[in-house]
Amino acid sequence: MYILLSDNNLKMTTIHNYKILEKIGQGQFGVVYRGKHERRGTEVAIKCEPQNTPYKLLKRETTILNMIYHTKYIPPILWFGKHNMWQVLVLPYYSLTLENYVINSLFSSTQSSQSIIQHLYQNMIEIMEHIHKHHVVHRDLKPQNFMIHNGNLVLIDFGLAIFTIDENGDNIPIKKSTHITGNVKFVSLNTHYGYSISPKDEMISCFYILLWMVYGKLPWSSPPLINSSEYDVTHVLHPLNMYVRYYKEWGVIQKFIDEYSPLDISCDTYWNEFLKKQIHDLML
């Protein structure tokens, strides 16, 4: 058992030349701040985790980031160390998420979005191929974890990421679980059946994000209101997860593509053919 320390002692303090400005996130295992380098003024993200946690997620995230660093797609580690009772990881701060960019720019634009979406999707595929080549799965793919930087995507938040091989270099077998890891809206259909996330599942998650960018919604975007359930919200048998699972079946998605028009109606034929080809390739 461990205690999540109060972050009051971190407010407006300085950690290794980085001044904390404001809290921008908090999870079960730690806190994230926006900060800046005292001398250079560059903005950073400061992730803090209690040293007494048994999970050591920041240490694992640091190990993974060091292994998969990419000058365009993966953020560099600016500093990692201890500060009082906290383990601290400092990374570049990116202000624009893919989610905000798509909602505020693409969804409201009267200009064709096809080339932009193609570019962003190609970025996603290249990022996933890069990290999978290093035997890593991210396990929390969603538009909020892709950032826009210099016209390209950067993948952040590797807190749930794991290796797909063990210390001997052997593939870790896919296991079954009763609970879903990651964002229910974007985890693959296989995850809803209890299978652990594989590289192929992450390609499927990228396809869901593409579908959302093209149509502005997903077949499972309007779930029913569920007041109670005998299952935890992350359980594969929770009614919400069962609802989403049904609408992620490939046949249902193909019907959705046939029945709905993309936001950029001028590209209807292109996206219909392209998306169905992606489905065919992902089903192989």
Query: Residue 271 in 3-state DSSP?
Result: helix
Q: Which residues are catalytic?
A: 140
Contact 79, 69 (CB under 8 A): no
Token digits of residue 277: 């080809």
Query: Residue 183 in 3-state DSSP?
Result: coil
Largest CA distance in the chain: 58
Q: Rounded to whole angstroms, how far apart are CA atoms 69 and 107?
A: 32
Helix (H) or strand (E) holding 137, with range, is strand 136-137
What is the end-to-end Cα distance of the chain in Å, rounded? 44
> Going by C-beta distance under 8 Å and a sequence separation of 6 or more, which residues neighbour residue 72?
150, 152, 154
Q: Which residue, chain included where needed, has tokens 């996933």?
A: 128
Token digits of residue 31: 């806190």
Selection from 244, 241, 236 nearest residue 219 by Cα: 244
Query: Residue 86 in 3-state DSSP?
Result: strand
Contact 68, 131 (CB under 8 A): yes
Q: What DSSP state is assigned to residue 262?
A: -
